[in-house]
Structure 1
Amino acid sequence: MEPRARPSADPATGLIACDWPVSWSLDIPKAWVSGLFLAVFTSDDGFRSYTPFVVRDTSRRSDVLLVVPFTTYQAYNLWPFDGSVGKNLYKGFTPDGKVGGNEERAFRVSFDRPYAHDGIPSWFDMDTSAARWAEKAGYDITYASSVDLHDGTIDVSRYTTVIFSGHDEYWSTNMRDWAEDAVAAGTHLAFLGSNNIYFHIRVEASDDGRDGRVVTCYKQDEDPEPGPGGPTERWRTLGKKHRKAEHGLLGVQYNGMVAKPVPLVVRESDHWFWAGTGLRDNDGIPELVAVEADGFDPSMPRPENATQTLLSSSPYSDSMGRGRRTQNTSLCENGEGTLVFVAGTFHWPLALNMPEHLNPQIQRATGNLMNRMLEQRSQ
């Protein structure tokens, strides 16, 4: 197969989309189970690249649905990483070939392009670690992508618990509505990372009319077409008095970049969540708080009709020069017994299965959470 032409960026939005003809496709065999898969491509000269994909099974109910954050994958995808054309929602290249910042970034990014470098999306290991742990634990689990939540493919009533396994930062109005409807219907939510539901996005059609192919987010720039959901900016700045802040669903929200990994400091050690871990108040789980952290903010809206337990209180230094911050792991339970859990750190899902991060105490605590969630509906 001949190399395909590299597209140029749209001068107004920075959108880079490959209008290449289909050269290979895969019909998913009926015998395949729902899961997170990785396609491996090897060129004639030995270069290997990857593309992750999810196989759904919407025909049956499952105890657990694991949602993989493809909208966030695309937001960080700096393809082509060529010193010239490539852009994502954070940066692009300066005229001298260096990676720039906001001045060079795109406002729209397309799924119609490879992932940069070897094809593994940013922080993909958070999702694979959580998935491997859940499957080893024997949970009845199926999979979906964040785009599936957006387009209505997934029926909220078919699952007891929904796991958001990784870095799930970019959410459309439809996605947010889906999560709120899930809680209202009695479906538990578990966010195993941090910096969740941070940027409001639109998921739009490609230029040739295919739905769900473009992620749009203008952030601090003026959004020329806000639409019914409002402008594509931070959720916490939408509406008056932060009324749409992610804190209102999650109970905590992103509060900083962690300069270097620090211990997660345990609180409420007599809570069922920590049962069997051997942990006591003020014990530290080494290097568990890392990369980005969430924390409780009393000035923000809180989940309605819910009791909140902060399961950690971990001081850390912010790498952006914003001083000392505190990370909190949070568990909210509403009056109907529906749980919303937020780990509040990137290293939590890694501690479930990645050999260099593996922590039996986090495995046990997360198992306690899952078992509690799966018991609630039958009581």
Structure 2
Amino acid sequence: MQEPNQERRNLLKGAVATSLASLAGSLSLGEASDAKADPDLIKRENQKEGSSDWQLTRIQLDKRDGFRSPKIEGYCSRQSVAAGEPIDIMVSTRPAQEFKIEIFRTGYYDGRGARLMKTLGPFQGKPQPVPQPGHKNLHECHWDAAVTLTIPDDWPSGVYLGRLSTLKDKTGYGYWQSYVVFIVKDDRPADILFQCSDNTWQAYNRWPNNYSVYTDPKGTQGPWADVSFDRPYAKYAQIYENPQSVGSGEWLCFEFPFAYWLEKHGYDVTYCSNSDMLTPEHGLKCKSFLSVGHDEYWDIRHYESVVKMRDAGVNLLFFSGNSVCWVTPMTASSDGRPNRIMFRGGPYGGKYKYAEARERDNGPFPHRGPDEGYLMGSRNVDPVNGGGDWVCELPEHWIFENTGMKKGDAIPGLIGWEYHGDPPEDIPGLEVVAKGTALQGGVNPQQWTATIYPGPKNNFVFNASTIFWCQDLSSPPGHMLPWSHWSRPHGPDERVQQITHNIMRRATS
């Protein structure tokens, strides 16, 4: 292992006071704000009646192995929006036909998974153009808005799906559907700030057919392609087939089971997008910060915000894999809306060997980021994808209380399809709580590690080291279990649920 650079060492060992001093003039943890705490908000919301009909029923892609749903598809003008603010919903129908939009908030709702908030329309739809590729293969739509929705004051923070449904079809095959997705945010103090990994959703979005940051003719890992949030989300295009995902990013695949579980148990949670973390203010009002699922793409401002949160006493919980891997500069759309275009700017990792290899093999990159291991407790390694069991290493640790787990006990298939490993050796107090081997279909072994280390204000940083963690928490409506590299999680597991309760209760106390 190469020695870490001095900047990272100082950050963790000797510069906590300096780090805190740098927050002068910005909010401190727990400082009062205009928004008031409401710890029972999510409990009250989930007592309301859920909907038994919110999933996609009829989907038609442009071809059998296609990604888009041209019969009806759409996108929103913003990743996240607060109560009282407007959001435009752009929709295209091909051919022209009437459609409606049903807005659902996803949550627990007595096991139904979503609540109908509002029905919009009917509207007269029309075909809207697929943009010509721009600079760096950018596909940025400039569609007319079907409707501008002002978020009502009583809509709580959460992840919202707009189900688009045609009302008639001249082919005689009935209606067709897809989703749009957006986050309602707030700035209230809460126990848990749940960050959606929507930068990663967009990085892998191949709409209209083969245009993501991974599909440039120059190669799959370089800085060559720009992607825009101003386009529909195509069908999820990575490790398994999930037609239910059309228009919803990766929310239903890798994050919704965690939110469903939190809301089932009444945790005080509020939601945000990656782009909302470019400043730390909201996070500093919350007790804990949650990274869930596949959280690969972080603007450097995002990284700096989360470092400030940790140093101010916020608990950081990485129930995710392949996280904080790529520096992802976010820029404005062509009409000036902030944070609507992004690209792979360069690797995190500092002087760490795998970051140096990424630069050598796929660069030159215009940006480099610090060693993410000194934030998360464990790093992105190579190979970073594969599957395996999550194996207990430190059964006496408090995260394993009431699980009955012993050293070597395994939770089958929980590691995947990407993970973290090789923790820095000089983080004071870092413990490896679980570890094992991941395999790419039986070959290319790599060691993964789940870690925990103390923060400077009686807080802690936990790293579960797997994208799949939420798969063993719950199995809500609208969700499909994934599989990858001949390995798969098995679904709800009492041990995973108890470990998560142990961590969340301590992180919110």
Question: So what's the TM-score if we normalise by structure 2?
Answer: 0.63
The root-mean-square deviation of aligned C-alpha atoms, in Å, is: 2.5
Match of 1:113 in 2: 231
Query: Does residue 398 of structure 2 align to residue 264 of structure 1?
Result: no
- Range moving further from structure 2, 340-349 or 350-359: 350-359
- Counterpart Cα distance in 1 of 2:329 and 2:441: 30
Query: Does residue 396 of structure 2 align to residue 281 of structure 1?
Result: no
Match of 1:145 in 2: 273
Cα separation, partners in 2 of 1:78 and 1:104, compared to 1, 3 Å: farther
Q: Deviations over 1:2-33 (max 9, x none)?
A: 100110111x4111000112112322111111
Match of 2:240 in 1: none
Match of 1:314 in 2: 436
- Counterpart Cα distance in 2 of 1:103 and 1:234: 10
1:87–1:105 CA contact under 8 A, matched in 2: no
Match of 1:229 in 2: none
Instruction: Spell out the pairing of 1:236-255 with structure 2 (5 A cutoff).
Output: 236-237=349-350, 244-255=370-381
Instruction: Spell out the pairing of 1:325-336 with structure 2 (5 A cutoff).
Output: 325-336=446-457
Cα separation, partners in 2 of 1:155 and 1:351, compared to 1, 3 Å: same
Which structure has the bigger radius of gyration? Answer: 2
Match of 1:87 in 2: 211
Match of 2:62 in 1: none
- Counterpart Cα distance in 1 of 2:437 and 2:340: 40
1:262–1:316 CA contact under 8 A, matched in 2: yes
- Counterpart Cα distance in 2 of 1:245 and 1:318: 25
Instruction: Spell out the pairing of 1:138-217 with structure 2 (5 A cutoff).
Output: 138-150=266-278, 152=279, 154-217=281-344
Question: So what's the TM-score if we normalise by structure 1?
Answer: 0.84
Match of 2:346 in 1: 233
1:15–1:106 CA contact under 8 A, matched in 2: no
SS in 1 for 2:411: strand
- Counterpart Cα distance in 1 of 2:324 and 2:230: 24
SS in 1 for 2:349: helix
Cα separation, partners in 2 of 1:363 and 1:103, compared to 1, 3 Å: closer
Cα separation, partners in 2 of 1:172 and 1:128, compared to 1, 3 Å: same
- Counterpart Cα distance in 1 of 2:230 and 2:503: 38
Q: Deviations over 1:218-259 (max 9, x none)?
A: xxxxxxxxxxxxxx2011147999881111111101223444
- Range moving further from structure 2, 349-358 or 364-373: 349-358
Instruction: Spell out the pairing of 1:343-354 with structure 2 (5 A cutoff).
Output: 343-354=464-475
Q: Which consecutive aligned stretches of 4+ in structure 1 deviate over 4 angstroms post-superposition?
A: 103-106, 237-243
1:195–1:293 CA contact under 8 A, matched in 2: yes
- Counterpart Cα distance in 2 of 1:274 and 1:65: 23
Match of 2:122 in 1: none
Q: Deviations over 1:320-362 (max 9, x none)?
A: 96x3211111111134321111110122111111275111100
Aligned residues: 342
Cα separation, partners in 2 of 1:238 and 1:177, compared to 1, 3 Å: farther
Residue identity opposite 1:39 in structure 2: G
- Counterpart Cα distance in 2 of 1:121 and 1:110: 13
Query: Does residue 165 of structure 2 align to residue 42 of structure 1?
Result: yes
Residue identity opposite 2:497 in structure 1: Q
- Counterpart Cα distance in 2 of 1:158 and 1:104: 37
Match of 2:18 in 1: none
Structure 1 alignment gaps of length 5 or more? 95-99, 218-231
Residue identity opposite 1:112 in structure 2: D
Residue identity opposite 2:319 in structure 1: L
Cα separation, partners in 2 of 1:113 and 1:106, compared to 1, 3 Å: farther
Residue identity opposite 1:171 in structure 2: W
- Counterpart Cα distance in 2 of 1:213 and 1:293: 28
Match of 2:153 in 1: 30
Sequence identity, in percent? 28
